[in-house]
Amino acid sequence: MGILRSLFTKPLTADELRPQLAKVARGRRRKMMELRKLSRKREKSIDGVRKARKAGDKLATDYHWEELKQIQFDAAYVRKEAKIANLEEIALKRYVRALEKLEKSRDTEGVKKLFAKIRSSGLEAKLAEQRIREQDYLDELNAIVALAGEELREEEIEEDEEKVAFLAQIDQIIEAEDDGRKDEAKKHREALSKKLEAELEE
């Protein structure tokens, strides 16, 4: 992210850094709220697949499956952004504490050395590089998806392995519900949600 790079072009006081720290903290909280919203959307989407599958509605099943994949895609990106914002917030907190200590002791040379060290550390470049790698990945993925879309219009569409495995888990939930095994159905549902959540870390 560019905020660290833009902040440390010249020496700043702790008082000048605190508003930026608050801004970064608000940004991180917004990302976390966005993740919670996506988590709720994911649960609704899973339920949509389950209901459509149970009703034998293939069109609705496919729709909710595609919706779920997009939610997972969005959540993975937002989680990455939240991690970067968290690292940035941690860095700013440490800089503010260090400046407060130096300013309290009136160590002007120490302040100069701190900013020189910040600028030479390359920390902001490492954070920016992390975002660049993510964007490169997304661009490549978009290109692959576009290419696959062209191919799917020319060839017979086959269900991918990921979808088949997901629907098999949905079928387990439906079967348990139909048999009155509510606790087992709940366990299958929780396991499925945990699996999707874990995929965001990959």
Q: Dihedrals φ, ψ of 13, to 5°?
A: -90, 165
Confidence of residue 129 (pLDDT cuts 50, 70, 90): low
Structural contact between residues 117 and 102, judged by C-beta atoms closer than 8 angstroms: no
Output b/e per residue, 94-106; b: 16+ Cβ within 10 A. Answer: ebbebbeebeeee
The string of pLDDT tens digits covering residues 32-76 is 899 889 988 999 999 999 999 999 998 999 999 999 989 988 988
Helix, coil or strand: residue 106: coil
What pLDDT, on a 0 to 100 scale, did the predictor assign at position 148? Answer: 32
pTM of the predicted model as reported, rounded to 2 decimal places: 0.64
How far, in Å, CA of 51 to CA of 94, rounded? 50
- Among 26-30, 89-93, 148-152, which stretch is predicted with the lowest mean pLDDT? 148-152
Domain ranges for the chain, please list them: 3-156
Helices (H), 14-57: 14-55
| Cα dihedral sign, 102-103-106-109 | positive
- Tell me what the pLDDT averaged over the chain comes to: 76
Instruction: Tell me which of 83-97, 138-152, 158-172 is least confident.
Output: 138-152
Per-residue model confidence (pLDDT) at position 52:
93
CA distances (Å), origin 197, targets 17, 36, 140, 175, 192: 35, 11, 23, 23, 9
Rounded to whole angstroms, what are the CA distances from 202 to 65, 106, 120, 122?
20, 47, 31, 26
147 Cα distance to chain centroid: 25
Report the helix count and the strand count for the chain, using DSSP H and E: 7, 0
pLDDT in tens, 112-128: 777 777 776 666 666 66
